[in-house]
Structure 1
Amino acid sequence: MKKDYAKTADTLIAALGGKDNITRLFHCMTRLRFYVKDRSKINEKEILKLSEISGVNWHEDQFQVIAGNEVNAVYKALEDKGVPTDDAPAANSDSSKSVVSKVIDAITGCMTPMIPALTAAGMIKVVLTLLTTFHLVSETSSTYQVISFIGDVTFYFMPFLIAANAAKVFRVNQSLALFIAGVYLSPTFVTMVAGDAAITLFGLPITKATYSYSVIPVILMVWITHYIEILVDKITPKMVKLILNPTLVILISAPIALIVVGPIGTIIGNGLAVAINFLSVKLGFIIVGILAATFPFIVMTGMHHALTPIGLNAIATGGADTLIFVSQVCSNLAQSGASLAVAVRSKDSNMKQLASAAGVSALMGITEPALYGVT
């Protein structure tokens, strides 16, 4: 039976105090994230009656509605009803938020839209492993090489993906943000880094660093570019803004990116990698177990996305992550197993259906339906 998502949207809007009470809506893989004028108008009980909704959660002034695999359909229906939407949270929009909250919102906005691409890249690597394990493809064949580079694209060009998302978060012109990412990944710059000669710009040294697979430098640089855009817009005459604004933004941003922010981001990234390696070596499976056990609570706050750059950074700097993603997988499997056990033992047909779907979803990496609907 085809679901009537328009009706679901109407119910949600009414339970949220009407369209006028909703200031902004965006979504991640499983959650609808609302900002409202008056939180006292929200009727959580009515929202939880909807079959598409498995739970609700407040994260400071953000009201999160967990819709699981149906989040895109419900979001589209709400958008069609005229609910004000945004592709990513604005990191600079609410001065009442704490610094920590703003940082987490910014990282979430930069990383969440990347999840489909990261998932696809990971699964392509799994397919490639299966093809070679069962001797269907030779590692020396061009077929293997083509599939391999397709799977590597997301990781190698990660600065571009992050720049596109960060531009929305920090309210930066997206083409200019991508331009900055291109500065880091320019084939000419990559060749210069690989060479023996020192790299300088008007006598200022440029650190030889590789930025493919990197996360931190481009996030920092797009954030800084937001303020550079504001400064440039103030000092340029209206008559030549169209030409001067983008030119000056790049002429100011690019040197800062290469001389200052890139090296700082690399130092931070290397520091995080050392810290993770230290914890992994000293505590081994114990730290994995501790982090895995706390992940459901981290997910409830929405802070789990803030850990994604740390895991990706570990891969970029050391070739593998031995803590963040390993702990996530352990936590996901535990949530999946618990939900599937409930599906087997429960006498309630609705709970059986919910727990079965949640168990499969958790097995594939999306735990919110299991967390809020079952466990």
Structure 2
Amino acid sequence: MNHKDLAQDILKHIGGSENVQNAIHCMTRLRLTLKDSSRANSEEISRLDGVIQVADTAGQYQIIIGNDVGYVYKEFAKLIDHNPEASGQIVQNKDHSFKGYFNRFANLITGIFAPIIPAIAGAGMLKALLILLPMLNLMKEDSQTYLVLKIISDAAFFFLPILLAYTSSQKFGTNPMVSMALAGVLLHPNLTALFSSGDPVAFAGIPLKAVSYGASVIPIILIVWLMSYVERLADKLSPGPVKIFMVPLITMIIVAPIGLLFLGPLGMYLGAGLAAGVLWIQQTAGWAAVAILAVFLPFIVMFGMQKVFYPVVIASLASPGYDALIGVAMLAANFAQGGGALAVSFKTKDPKLKQIAMSGGISALFGITEPALYGVHLKLKKTLLACMIGAGVSGIFVGLIKLKAFVMVSPGIATMPIFIEKGTSNFTFAIIGAVISAVVAFIAVYIIGFKDAENEVVQKSNEPISTTENTRNR
């Protein structure tokens, strides 16, 4: 695959750079906000070498590329002269139906959370390794090296409001530097010291609620949202020669106090409510919630809606400190798709499908399911059912033993340390759950059977296929 050529071809078939409002990417998808999605030729794009599938959903035009999406995005960004500060404006969608509102919400969540995932995933994996190293007697917890590594692993989480301030500014169309400065207010050590002193703290005679905003999510999003209105008003009121300092001055002096007095505490309450809601689901539905989510995750991924779970997972990791629903269900779903795709690779007679299924299966076992989902299971259909069976069986198991994930990253072979919990069998149970998922899906593919690309019926039985039936299938 030539990344530059693919980027050029994609741009040509979506209506050119003038039709691109915004461009981001996640682990496998180039996510575009187009001014007019009707100008995009999905059929031609899906035929391009390197493109797995195209999905126009949730207010985004999504081109599923796979593991090379980051390289393609870099070339694509050069072609459109991508400037995040200029292209992050919200596209006004006049669809006031429930679907329209939901698509805008999903687009907003994706745009805010998807770009920060590499930082969160990297820091989270380091946290998992810092649990593992002392257990293997490779490093002492009181050593200075360990303490420095712990600081490195904590930084992305503690300063999460600053990361979210930047990405939120892209979606709300605000100045990113001023947005990040407002996040800095929430995390300022002097403010933290004031709150920690135990003495009442007030602004203009109004009491401030003592809150620790480190690793918080919702407060800064609400603050940047308010900033988008204040900044535009300040820009209108400020004379041209003094805009450079007057606009940020007015913005900060209005938004920061409102954030500390009202939006910050409100956001913390909402975050606590979200975490409590997830905990209630886990306590009420228990293993059934995990199993059901594991079974239907392929359809959620198919529409690119899995990013909606990001705030839920982050809230759960903040309190109670682990994710016993989303990440656990993903473990079952990912390994099921991997096992199912490998079964197809072993069973099919078609060389091209064999290659696609093998690479897709390995990718799924490492946490990236789109190649297997789009390249194999959605085309064969029956194998998707087999994967759902594998995910369901594994989902019941990991749900019953109350498996926990401690890092927000797609579960796979390389990321299994996210299930390490000192002093428990959590990691062992995670491995067992993964094996159950892959093996059950693998066996289910053989039992259910499928039709490969050459329309040769692959069955559990070794009985010959009649000439009449074979002709009909062609």
With the length of structure 2 as denominator, give the TM-score of the two structures.
Answer: 0.73
Match of 2:310 in 1: 308
User: Do structure 1's residue 339 and structure 2's residue 341 form an aligned pair?
Assistant: yes
The residue aligned with 2:321 is 319
Residue 167 of structure 1 contacts residue 174 of structure 1 at CA under 8 Å; is this kept in 2? yes
In structure 1, the residue matched to 2:255 is 253
Q: Which of residues 150, 153, 163 is equivalent to 2:152? A: 150
Q: Name the counterpart of 2:194.
A: 192
Question: Secondary structure at 2:30's aligned position in 1?
Answer: strand
Q: Deviations over 1:131-167 (max 9, x none)?
A: 2222111222222222222112111111111111111
CA contact (8 A) 1:30 1:69 kept: yes
Question: Contact 2:29/2:66 (CA < 8 Å) preserved in 1?
Answer: yes
Checking the alignment, whether the CA contact within 8 Å between 1:155 and 1:213 is kept in structure 2 is: yes
**How many Å separate the matches in 1 of 2:104 and 2:289?**
27
Give the alignment partner of residue 101 of structure 2, picking from 99, 102, 105: 99
Gap change, CA 1:131 and 1:316, over 3 Å in 2: same
Q: 2:58–2:106: 8 Å Cα contact kept in structure 1? A: no
Residue 53 of structure 2 corresponds to which residue in structure 1? 55
**Farther off after superposition, 92-101 or 116-125:** 92-101
The runs of 5 or more residues in structure 2 that have no matched partner are: 378-474
Aligned to 2:210, what secondary structure does the other structure show?
coil
Looking at structure 2, the residues matched to 368 and 259 of structure 1 have their Cα atoms a distance apart, in angstroms, of 44
Q: How does 1:352-363 map to 2 (within 5 A)?
A: 352-363=354-365
Name the structure 1 match of 2:242: 240
Counterpart of 1:96, as a letter, is K
AA aligned to 2:90 is: N
Partner of 1:280: 282
Q: Tell whether the 8 Å contact from 1:27 to 1:87 is kept in structure 2 after alignment.
A: no
Give the corresponding residue for 1:220. Answer: 222
- How far does the alpha carbon of each residue in 1:94-152 deviate from its partner, in whole angstroms, 9 at most, with x for none? 23243332222111111000111122112212322332222111222222222222112
State the alpha-carbon separation in 2 of the partners of residues 61 and 328 from structure 1.
24
Alignment match of 2:270 (pick from 268, 271, 289): 268
Provide Cα deviations, 1:306-353, integer angstroms capped at 9, x if missing partner. Answer: 211111012113222222222233322222222233333333333333
Structure 1: where are the runs of 5+ without partners? none
> Would the aligned equivalents of 2:337 and 2:364 in 1 still touch at CA under 8 Å?
yes
Q: 1:156 to 1:233 in 2, by over 3 A?
A: same
Q: CA deviation at 1:37?
A: 5.9
- In the alignment, the residues of structure 1 paired with residue 374 and residue 84 of structure 2 have an alpha-carbon distance, to the nearest angstrom, of 24
Equivalent-residue separation in structure 1 for 2:101 and 2:117 (angstroms)? 25
Q: For 1:32, what is the secondary structure of its paired residue?
A: strand
Q: 1:24 to 1:204 in 2, by over 3 A?
A: closer
The answer to whether the 8 A contact 2:123-2:154 is kept is yes
Amino acid corresponding to residue 176 of structure 2 in structure 1: Q
Deviation at 1:24, TM superposition (A): 4.9
Q: How much does 1:253 deviate?
A: 0.9
C-alpha contact 1:280 1:323 (8 A) present in aligned 2: yes
8 Å CA contact 2:291–2:329 kept in 1: the answer is yes
Q: 1:41, 1:91 → 2: CA distance? A: 20
Q: What is the rounded CA distance, in whole Å, between the counterparts of 1:190 and 1:323 in structure 2?
A: 32
Corresponding residue SS for 1:69: coil
CA distance 1:247–1:66, change in 2 (3 Å):
same
Could you tell me which of 31, 34, 43 is aligned with 2:32? 34
C-alpha distance in structure 2 between counterparts of 1:282 and 1:61, whole Å: 33
SS in 1 for 2:360: helix
Cα distance in 1 for partners of 2:153, 2:341 equals 31
Match of 1:4 among 2, 5, 10: 2
TM-score scaled by length of structure 1? 0.90
Q: Please state how far the C-alpha of 1:254 moved relative to its aligned partner.
A: 0.8
Distance in 1 between residues matched to 2:186 and 2:325, nearest whole Å:
28
User: Which residue identity lines up with residue 274 of structure 1 in the other structure?
Assistant: A
The equivalences for 1:138-177 within 5 A come to 138-177=140-179
Separation of aligned partners in 2, 1:264 and 1:361: 41
Aligned positions, number: 372
Give, in whole Å, the separation in 2 of the partners of 1:163 and 1:154.
13
Structure 1 partner of 2:420: none
Q: What does the per-residue CA deviation read over 1:15-71, in whole Å, with 9 as the maximum and x for residues that have no partner?
A: 445566655543222112334566555443433333311111111553211001111
Contact 2:53 2:63 in 1 (8 A): yes
User: Relative to structure 2, which stretch is displaced further, 114-123 or 6-15?
Assistant: 6-15
Distance (Å, rounded) in 1 between the aligned partners of 2:236 and 2:38: 41
Match 1:76 to one of 67, 70, 74: 74
Distance 1:346-1:124 versus aligned 2 partners, 3 A rule:
farther
Are 1:369 and 2:360 an aligned pair?
A: no
Superposition deviation, residue 177 in structure 1: 0.6
Q: 1:66-106 CA distances to partner (integer Å, 9 max, x unpaired)?
A: 001111222233344x3464649846322324333222211
Would you say the 8 A contact 1:22–1:84 is kept in 2?
no
The answer on whether the counterparts of 2:361 and 2:372 sit within 8 Å (CA) in structure 1 is yes
Residue 36 and residue 165 in structure 1: after superposition, are their counterparts in 2 closer, same or farther (change >3 A)?
closer
Identity percentage of aligned residues: 37
Q: Give secondary structure in 1 for the equivalent of 2:55.
A: strand
Q: Is the 8 A contact 2:25 2:115 kept in 1?
A: no
Change (3 A) 1:188 1:363: farther
* 1:269–1:317 contact (8 Å) kept in structure 2: no
Question: Does structure 1 retain, via aligned residues, the 8 Å contact 2:161–2:215?
Answer: yes
**d(CA) in 2 for partners of 1:225 and 1:116?**
26
Query: Using a 3 Å threshold, how does the CA distance of structure 1 residues 372 and 194 change in structure 2: closer, same or farther?
Result: same
CA root-mean-square deviation: 2.4
